[in-house]
Structure formats: C-alpha cells, structure tokens
Structure 1
Amino acid sequence: MTHDEVLGEFRAAGALLEGHFILTSGLRSPIFLQKMFVFMDPVRTERLCRALAEKARATFGTIDYVVSPAVGGIVPGYETARQLGAKAVFVEREDGKFALRRGFVIPEGARVLMVEDIITTGLSSRECLAAIAEYPGHVVGAACLIDRSNGKADLGVPLVALATLDIPTYPADALPPELAALPAVKPGSRGIQGVKA
C-alpha cells in the first residue's frame, strides 16, 4: 500500500480533519487524524493492517506477540497481530504508568512488535516499550499506520510506518496567527470530558 493510498483511506473515512487541535502530547496542530473513523470500518481496518503486517514481516521477520498501548492502539494492534498470526495484548495505565494487566504476559524468547495507530512525539510508544521491557521477550521493532513526526520520533527501536507525514505542531504559547484565530478542540480519547484551551 502506497503513502497516497494510506492517506486516501483516511480521507475516504472522513478521518483527516482540519482546524485547531490539541493533541495528546499537548502540542497544537492544524491537522488531526481521527483514526477511530477508520477503525469503525472493519474492511478498511483489515486492509490497512494487512499492509502494515506485510511491511513489518518484511522488515522484522516472524512476530510472536504484538503489544499496543490502550486505547488507540488496541484495534490496529489486534488486527495486525491477526494478519501476522501472532498473539495480541495491550498495555493500560496503572497509577499513571503503562503496564500489562488482565493476566497478560510475554514469554521468554517471544519476538515482540509494538504496534501503534499514529505516532506524533513517540512518548506513548516509548512508555509502551518500557512496559514490554519488564518481560523476557525480545522487542524486534515498532510499527504504526502513520508517523506524523516525519521520522523524527526516536523510539529507541526501528520503526516501520505505512505513511510518514510532516504535519506541523506548535506549543500552545507559540501558535501562528491563523491557528490562534481558531477555537481549540481536543478530539482524542483523553479529551472526552473536555479540556480548556
């Protein structure tokens, strides 16, 4: 699947939004990728995750476990694992820190791929990888549908992405005038109860 085909899937799902958005990282952006609009279509999700699985397999070889951060990574992690013939587990926050819960473990010798939906700064990916490091499996790399850091996010492991974008982000106190003129919206899962901009 090409870069343009990936973006075409997001556009067709109405998931490529323009405005003034507060990202999970706290940074502001004129573009937001509402991946849940993509994930509500199982056929579209399967198509994207099959392409991601093929790219991950070609880069990293056999994968035994896919680990994803909750909530946004669960759907693509599960579907990518299904395409790879691997087990799918996820980390959740416990006392503010990612951890495997629900009896999930990663056995010794397991080849592990961390799968994310979209990477911006890489913070949640690094936190997920830190949780995986508590177990004896071997992390071979990471994969995501879209890397919106344009390859700048350093995860500490090799990363494959279906599409790489260079979408500008800004601190709240350094907005360009055209962005500052728009009302800020926090559309991600952490903003469900509302955030004051």
Structure 2
Amino acid sequence: MTENQMKKESKTLKTEEYLDLFRKSNALLEGHFLLTSGKHSRQYMQCAQVLQYPDRAAVLAEGLADFFRDFKIQTVIGPAMGGILVAHEVAKALGVRALFTERENGIMRLRRGFMLSPGERVLVVEDVVTTGGSVREVIAVVQEMGAVPVGVGVLVDRSGGTVDFGVPQSSMLQLKIESYAAEECPLCAQGIPAIKPGSRKL
C-alpha cells in the first residue's frame, strides 16, 4: 500500500505504519549524538529524512492534525528548524496559517513580521521532543503575545511520554531512546566523538 493509499483510506494510521514511514526514510540514525538538550545518545531520529518526501510528510501531518480538529485551532507554530515543515503541513491539514519561531541572540522569538493576536488559539508543534525545552520556549512566546497555546503535537516523542506541557498533547510515535548526561556518557568514556545532528551536520 502506498502512502497516498494509506492517506485516502485512513487519516490516522497505526503506530507501526507511522514507524514504517521513518524506517523507509532512514530517519533513525545510530552513532554518538549530542542532542539539543545537552544530553548524549546512541540513536537520533532525523525527521528531516522523512519530511523530505511531501507525501510522507502529509500522511504524518494528517495523523497529527486529526487529534486537534475539534480544538478550534487558528494558527500552528513550531520552532526553527525542525518545526517549520511540521507546522506548515499540520496547518495545511487544518486549513489554518503556519508560523515559526527563531532564536535571536539565543532567545526564542517571533520574527519576520509574524504576529499573534490576544486570545488567538495556537497549536505548538515540533518534529522531535526529548526534554521539551524548545517547545516550552515556543509556548512562552505564544503566551507573551497574549495568544492561547491549546495543544502540543510532535511527530516523535523520544521521552516515552514522560514530558508534560500542561496542555493536551499528541505524538505520532513514542520512543524511549536512552540518553545520558555528558559526564555519564559511556560513548564519551570510550573516546567516540560526538556529533551534533541537524542542518549543519547531517
């Protein structure tokens, strides 16, 4: 069955079907990785590998959007870089606009003339969540502008469901991928160099 056929027959797939999209895209990497959270890991989910295929991105976005269809979402927002495509595709599935935040001098902000109105109902999305730090920063941006974060949607929750944002949340996949504090990393102890995955490295 093709992704297009799956999308037509069911907007919400089974977990194994979503995982299959990532496997076919070689999105699950093995090695020694330095995560955005500062922790280290043997595995890394590179969502850009699956999002490079528009049909697969649409299938994932439709599944994520389905959970939030009754939330009266007005805008979908995600952090650069990983959340940009996710926000765009989920917004397309919901028929609303998409925005993204960026870091400026290390601080998460809305730039490029993007604005949120007081009371505007916003869905925050991200590609991968480990500790949830970036998502919390986006939520703070939304709240600072007087808008209302009504939910969080992520493609891959690698915390195994332990991260709580205080609003309804949904993920396409929940994976418990082991990570280590830098000073406790067995890969560092073995002298294996760590790489920081993302747009600059992979």
Matches within 5 A, 1:105-116: 105-116=115-126
Structure 1 unpaired stretches of 5+: none
Aligned match of 2:131 in 111, 121, 135? 121
Aligned match of 1:93 in 99, 103, 106? 103
Q: Contact (CA 8 Å) 2:40, 2:181: kept in 1 or not?
A: yes
Identity across aligned pairs (percent)? 44
> Partner of 1:12 in structure 2?
24
Residue 2 to residue 179, structure 1, CA distance change in 2 (3 Å): farther
Structure 1 residue 158, shift from structure 2 partner: 2.5
Q: Contact (CA 8 Å) 2:64, 2:90: kept in 1 or not?
A: yes
Q: Contact (CA 8 Å) 2:195, 2:201: kept in 1 or not?
A: no
Aligned match of 1:163 in 157, 173, 179? 173
> Partner of 1:148 in structure 2?
158
Structure 1 residue 177, shift from structure 2 partner: 6.0
Give the count of matched residue pairs: 190
Q: Contact (CA 8 Å) 1:122, 1:153: kept in 2 or not?
A: yes
Q: Contact (CA 8 Å) 2:122, 2:147: kept in 1 or not?
A: yes
Distance of 2:32 and 2:46 partners within structure 1:
13
Root mean square deviation, CA, Å = 1.9
Structure 1 residue 35, shift from structure 2 partner: 1.0
Q: Contact (CA 8 Å) 2:32, 2:187: kept in 1 or not?
A: no
Distance of 1:148 and 1:89 partners within structure 2:
24
1:65 aligns with 2:42: no
Q: Which runs of 4+ in 1 moved over 4 A?
A: none
1:106-130 deviation line (CA, Å, top 9, x unaligned): 1233211001111001000001111
When normalised by structure 1's length, the TM-score is 0.89
Q: Contact (CA 8 Å) 1:2, 1:162: kept in 2 or not?
A: no
1:98-153 deviation line (CA, Å, top 9, x unaligned): 11111111123321100111100100000111111112222111100110011112
